[in-house]
Structure 1
């Protein structure tokens, strides 16, 4: 990844073969687009990431297939910062956030704070509010990541684990995913 203020990086994610050949962009950024918080679908089938546009509240889940070099839109979502998927990439979990701090033009990226943890189904494009994370997103003891929720699925996919500092110090929380959401896989 090419790091830096998201609004100044025009090609954040790159792929390259193990032998150093075939360097290529994962996504061709549009003017005003930021791409961030990339991760591999746990089964290794794709690289997923968050995309958002300058001046817009909504964000998008995109994924890149390393075998075909296909980059595709998965679905629109609320203003989530961090994402993770279940093993096969059918369900995603995201943490609602506020305005990004890792952009140079902060005035153009202002969004309302969103305190929810969401479950997002790529199969039927439904979005479910699971639980309020109520994280402060503040810098604590010199670390700006420790208060971020960073939600993730439990190994059995029945729970979401996330961090929150609503009680003072960051702590790990767990929320049960309703059965009706789990049957959407």
Structure 2
């Protein structure tokens, strides 16, 4: 990383946000009970309620018989002062104000770009997963106070296997078990357990945290693992593993099988405000998958049938779709022409109505995400033109003008791109003032945030 001037965050600063005030605000936007003390209370959760109109999940029920009703509590609620890790500096390449949020030498990864990475309305309280304790656990970082609170103490946790609702609820997988944690009380409940012989994929939740959706996929034996990212993708695709999409009611525990087929399903996304709509992809890479994006409506009053969100034609490819806060779908779209490949940011409604597309003058980012009103887009690459060789090392900000994407550089990330944890996966804070992203430029996976208004 470049030489920078740093400033250490100090928990004694006078402008710290009172923790009780934060949780009071959190309750006002739909969070759980407000704590009366400055540190979170550790509650022992009651047994998860049975599903409405059906028996509770048999696997989860059996687990409760053998291991109790809550996640293990060892380390959960532990508070650390991490002012030495949080550094603020001016990016020497772009002039951006940047904060490094982690830096103890462990692997630290913020939630996938399709999830919120903050709770509350601003950018003071970040959620990320870290193996600083020797195994991956989820943490809440109260940035102004440089105060780190351990939220989980489960087994078999990993990056990109959790999602966050702004009202202060974290959903995560511990092995096959889906858990819900309230960050204000640390109440941890097991909601569902994936059947034996299957493994879960990335969870996603509605904006209010009421519903969680994910796919589970048949476990298979693979022979093409080399240690490199995506090395087994084609083999898994051709195995046609059975996959099922589940939707879980986080309040009642009701589990609904939304869709299933003998195809590798991944990248499940539930609509932010319409929990009957679930977007998903057929996984396997662009050279194998002929139709990536699918959507299913699980309203009970109609025949359930998944349909292509955008029917792809030969020479077209779509990748890394996401829901905007307005409920439209943004994605990266590519079109092969005689003169070469054209790449776009594209937007479509859940009913398949094509909205608009914007052409890049150079290579596209790997992942994009929109701000609250979709007037600004962030990406993990920032190529300023077709001959720009350095754009893959920058977080980029994009605006759309006259059918084209205008790119400017926000901050240098310098990541290796070698692992999922090292991918930038940028997203905006709820107030649109900051972009959070990952990088392994310091020889460890760390979480950063850059001030949008500083460039």
Instruction: Find the counterpart in structure 1 of residue 310 from structure 2.
Output: 27
In structure 2, relative to structure 1, the CA distance for the partners of 1:13 and 1:54 (3 Å cut) is same
In structure 2, relative to structure 1, the CA distance for the partners of 1:58 and 1:118 (3 Å cut) is farther
Q: Does 1:164 align with 2:453?
A: no
Count of residues in Structure 1 that have an aligned counterpart in Structure 2: 161
Higher-Rg structure is 2
Instruction: Find the counterpart in structure 1 of residue 293 from structure 2.
Output: 13
Instruction: Find the counterpart in structure 2 of residue 105 from structure 1.
Output: none
Match of 2:350 among 43, 66, 85: 66
Quick one: distance in 2 between partners of 1:96 and 1:117?
Answer: 5
Instruction: Find the counterpart in structure 2 of residue 52 from structure 1.
Output: 334
SS at match of 2:366: strand
| Partners of 2:382 and 2:407 within 8 A in 1 | no
SS at match of 2:297: coil
State the shift of 1:118 in Å: 1.1
SS at match of 2:430: coil
State the shift of 1:16 in Å: 1.9
| Partners of 2:393 and 2:415 within 8 A in 1 | yes
Please, which runs of 5 or more residues in structure 2 have no aligned partner? Answer: 1-280
Quick one: distance in 2 between partners of 1:10 and 1:57?
Answer: 17
Instruction: Find the counterpart in structure 2 of residue 79 from structure 1.
Output: 364
State the shift of 1:22 in Å: 5.2
Please, which runs of 5 or more residues in structure 1 have no aligned partner? Answer: 99-110, 139-143, 181-185
Instruction: Find the counterpart in structure 1 of residue 194 from structure 2.
Output: none
Instruction: Find the counterpart in structure 2 of residue 147 from structure 1.
Output: 422
State the shift of 1:58 in Å: 5.3
* Bigger Cα displacement from structure 2, 149-158 vs 75-84: 75-84
Instruction: Find the counterpart in structure 2 of residue 104 from structure 1.
Output: none
| Partners of 2:379 and 2:396 within 8 A in 1 | yes
- Could you tell me the TM-score, scaled by structure 1's length? 0.75
Q: Does 1:117 align with 2:395?
A: yes
| Partners of 2:425 and 2:438 within 8 A in 1 | yes
In structure 2, relative to structure 1, the CA distance for the partners of 1:34 and 1:112 (3 Å cut) is farther
Q: Deviations over 1:11-67 (max 9, x none)?
A: 1111222135353211222323221111110232x0111112459565211111124
Quick one: distance in 1 between partners of 2:357 and 2:336?
Answer: 20
Q: Does 1:178 align with 2:453?
A: yes
- Could you tell me the TM-score, scaled by structure 2's length? 0.33
* Bigger Cα displacement from structure 2, 153-162 vs 116-125: 116-125
Q: CA RMSD in A?
A: 2.7
Quick one: distance in 1 between partners of 2:314 and 2:389?
Answer: 23
